[in-house]
C-alpha cells in the first residue's frame, strides 16, 4: 500500500537507505514521521531517496513544492534502489534559502543522475525540481 512503511519500517534497526551510516530509526525515520525536519537540502534529498525506498508517498508529498508536485503521487516500497551517492552541493545549508544537490541513485534498472533544486517554504526545505543529467 502506498505510504505504508511496513516493509522497511518494521526493520528500523537496519542501516538507513540514504547511506549516512545510522539506522533508519535514527536517520531518516524521524523525518518521515514528522518528529524532526531536515536542517539542510542534502538531508532532505537523502530522506526523500529513503522515502522512495520505503514507499512513503505521504512524506514525498509533504516535501515537494506544491507548484511542481504530481497529483496523485503513488509510491510503493522499492527494494530495487541499491545506493545513493551525493556528488556535490551548492547552498542548501541551515542558513540558506535555496540549494542544489547533485547525486546518483543506483537502481537495479540503472542509475539516476540528477541535480535537485530545493527552496525553503515556511521555514522548511522542499524539493522544487531537478533535471536528470547525462
Pick the CATH number of 6-129 from 3.40.50.300, 3.30.565.10, 3.40.50.1820, 3.10.450.50: 3.10.450.50
* pLDDT averaged over every residue in the chain: 91
- In order of 7, 80, 100, 105, the CA distances from 121 in angstroms are 31, 31, 15, 25
Instruction: Report the predicted TM-score, pTM, of the whole model to 2 decimal places.
Output: 0.90
How many angstroms separate the CA atoms of 105 and 14, rounded?
19
pLDDT band at 12 (very low <50, low <70, confident <90, very high): confident
pLDDT band at 13 (very low <50, low <70, confident <90, very high): confident
Q: Which three cell numbers stand for residue 34?
A: 514528522
Give the domain ranges of the chain. 6-129
| Strand-by-strand arrangement of the 124-129 sheet | 81-91, 98-107, 110-121, 124-129
For residues 58-75, give the mean pLDDT: 94
Amino acid at each position: 500500500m502506498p505510504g505504508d512503511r511496513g516493509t522497511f519500517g518494521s526493520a528500523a534497526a537496519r542501516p538507513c537507505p540514504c547511506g549516512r551510516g545510522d539506522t533508519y530509526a535514527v536517520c531518516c525515520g524521524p523525518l518521515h514521521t514528522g518528529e524532526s525536519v531536515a536542517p539542510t537540502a542534502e538531508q532532505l534529498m537523502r530522506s526523500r531517496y529513503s522515502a522512495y525506498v520505503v514507499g512513503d508517498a505521504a512524506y514525498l508529498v509533504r516535501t515537494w513544492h506544491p507548484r511542481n508536485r504530481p497529483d496523485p503521487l503513488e509510491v510503493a516500497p522499492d527494494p530495487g534502489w541499491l545506493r545513493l551517492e551525493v556528488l556535490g552541493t551548492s547552498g542548501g545549508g541551515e542558513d540558506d534559502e535555496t540549494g542544489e544537490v547533485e547525486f546518483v541513485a543506483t537502481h537495479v534498472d540503472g542509475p539516476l543522475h540528477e541535480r535537485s533544486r530545493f527552496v525553503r517554504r515556511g521555514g522548511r526545505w522542499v524539493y522544487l525540481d531537478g533535471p536528470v543529467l547525462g
